[in-house]
Amino acid sequence: MTRLYNDPAAFVDEATEGFVAAYPLRVRQVPGGVIRSTRSEPDTVAVVIGGGSGHYPAFAGLVGQGLAHGAAMGNLFASPSAQQIYSVARAANNGAGVLLSYGNYAGDVLHFGQARDRLINDGIPCEMVKVIDDVSSAEIDEIDKRRGIAGDLTVFKIAAAAAEAGYSLDEVVRVAEHANLRTRSFGVAFDGCTLPGADDALFHVPEGKMAVGLGIHGEPGISEQAIPSADELAELLVEKLLGELPEGVDRAEGARASVLLNGLGTIKYEELFVVYRRVNQLIEEAGITIVEPEVGELVTSLDMAGASLTLFWLDDELEKFWAAPADTPAYRKGSVTTSEQLDATELDIPDPDDLPKASSESREAAEKVLAALEATARVVEENAEEFGRIDAVAGDGDHGIGMQRGSQAALEKARELKERDAGAGSLLRIAGDAWADRAGGTSGAIWGALLHSLAMAMGDDKKPDAATIARGVEEALDNIMTFGKAKVGDKTLVDVLSPFSDTLSERVEAGDALAQAWQKAAERADEAAQATADLRPKIGRARPLAEKSLGTPDAGAVSLAMIVRAVQDVL
């Protein structure tokens, strides 16, 4: 269990502060995460990684010469917000564009995508590579759905070494994607980790059992079996990975691979070495040459008991970049030529509170946006317990607390911005960032995205009319469906947002005033929220309780319908 903390809510901030204090010659804190403290070559690509905290050395421990240029650091096991990623990427940018790379999780996909939009909007070329190494999380024909686990390291390392070698952004993307497709991992778990201040672990594996393929946040595995011997575990892991060679790898032609045996927290070095002994034998017996393997803790989940094996199939280019030197807090290899320390004043750090000039109509409209956020925070406050109760049926029961934190943070930020004469668009956009930052998790990401789209439609120039609002809601829906991958019928908030948006647009087009159109749409939203009780969730959850959830509506759908209803009163 996690025993050492002060205020659990401050855990990540304090850990970050301690981390930066320990490695001042390698990393520097910036809003949203850390960047290298050393100067990178100008006009080279910057590789910015990130994800939830709690996985050290991923992600911040991998920032430094020869590896990542920056890491956006979310809350524990929660994606960083788009603003965090954007801010780190801006500070890390060396003038030749930014590669964003991260593990394939819904919240990360959403937030990194939004951050990319903002960077491109700023004129900074930006591409993304999401790591998909976990073979247990989807079949090969749906490889894009696979999660990223310890293979994060190989993809990040290759991308960064290519950037360091002066590759263009397109070339960095090509080689990083190539590394991604040639990285395959398979893991097992024996017990879950405990978040600071929590009474119990995030999940448990039954005593004496091993969950095969279980994800690093407790995502469902593919089977459970009795804990095998170290040799049997090695055989299980190697067999699976040798059974799925990436395209282009031919063992008959003297394949070369690096091997990563990763401990997730409490499976310790000596145990890993006992397993590695057999892994090494099996891979060598298969005629594969092992190149610069790593045995240790590379991507962890606090004190989770588990281990994973990664095979990274090399070719000449990948091998060159894998062997390249690196010097980060947690990963050091070969000899780097030490670069000079950066001067803090040269950093391009966007001020998240920068306010564009707004028209007086927009500043007036901001009053209404603030009122809507007040109504939202109130209805969430009143119903948070109920949201948690519904969410607990088939989820982890944190929907209430996440919504509460998010709506409260958004309201506070909006009040402050109102004082500063923000326009309606900026007020909602920055409040939405605050929501996403504070709420964390996928629901935070989705609400952040929703408010962001709406805000972009409003802008700071005009009084937003009914058509603008309807268009903003449409764009929010598009945005969420694109990044969040949820479709209608998947038992998510999309099941409410979609009919709400359709009705709103129809009624506005038919000539209804906003309040009137909104009311009709809100009624449809209510019905749609109730109807989610008949659906089974289709999108991965920490615990797949699809059947159990039948008869209960989706918590995110219910909370959206209630908020829509509450906002109606202030229109």
Q: Which residues are catalytic?
A: 217
| CB closer to a second copy, 305 vs 446 | 305
Indicate whether 347 belongs to the interface with a second copy (CB under 8 A): no
Piece in contact with a second copy (CB under 8 A), picked from 299-307, 483-491, 517-525, 563-571: 299-307
Indicate whether 235 belongs to the interface with a second copy (CB under 8 A): no
70: left (phi over 0), alpha (psi -120 to 50) or beta: beta
Piece in contact with a second copy (CB under 8 A), picked from 33-41, 295-303, 498-506, 512-520: 295-303
Strand partners, 30: 33
Under 8 Å between Cβ of 129 and 80 = no
Piece in contact with a second copy (CB under 8 A), picked from 148-156, 244-252, 330-338, 359-367: 330-338
Which residues, in sequence order, are CB contacts of 347 under 8 Å at separation 6+?
Answer: 30, 35, 91
Under 8 Å between Cβ of 66 and 328 = yes
- Choosing from 123, 253, 254, 337, the residue that interacts with a second copy (CB under 8 A) is 337
- Choosing from 138, 165, 230, 242, the residue that interacts with a second copy (CB under 8 A) is 230
CB of 218: closest distance to a second copy in angstroms?
16
Angle at 53 between CA 294 and CA 167, to 5 degrees: 60
Indicate whether 9 belongs to the interface with a second copy (CB under 8 A): no
Indicate whether 272 belongs to the interface with a second copy (CB under 8 A): yes
| CB closer to a second copy, 142 vs 269 | 269
Q: State the number of CA atoms in the 13 A half-sphere of 411 facing the CB.
A: 17
User: To 10 degrees, the CA torsion angle through 41, 47, 48, 50?
Assistant: -140
Indicate whether 53 belongs to the interface with a second copy (CB under 8 A): yes
| CB closer to a second copy, 290 vs 539 | 290
| CB closer to a second copy, 221 vs 265 | 265
Which letter does DSSP use for residue 39 in this model?
P
Instruction: Give residues 470-529 in contact with a second copy (rule: CB under 8 A).
Output: none
Indicate whether 74 belongs to the interface with a second copy (CB under 8 A): no
228: left (phi over 0), alpha (psi -120 to 50) or beta: beta
- H or E segment and range at residue 313: strand 305-313
Task: Say if residue 77 is preceded by a cis peptide, omega within 30 of 0.
Answer: no
Piece in contact with a second copy (CB under 8 A), picked from 3-11, 169-177, 359-367, 472-480: 3-11
| CB closer to a second copy, 284 vs 348 | 284
Which residues, in sequence order, are CB contacts of 406 under 8 Å at separation 6+?
Answer: 435, 436, 438, 439, 443, 444, 447, 448
- Give me the residues that bind a second copy (CB under 8 A), please: 2-6, 11-12, 14-19, 21-22, 53-54, 56-57, 61, 190, 196, 227, 229-231, 233, 261, 265-280, 293-297, 300, 302-303, 305, 307, 325, 330, 332-333, 335-338
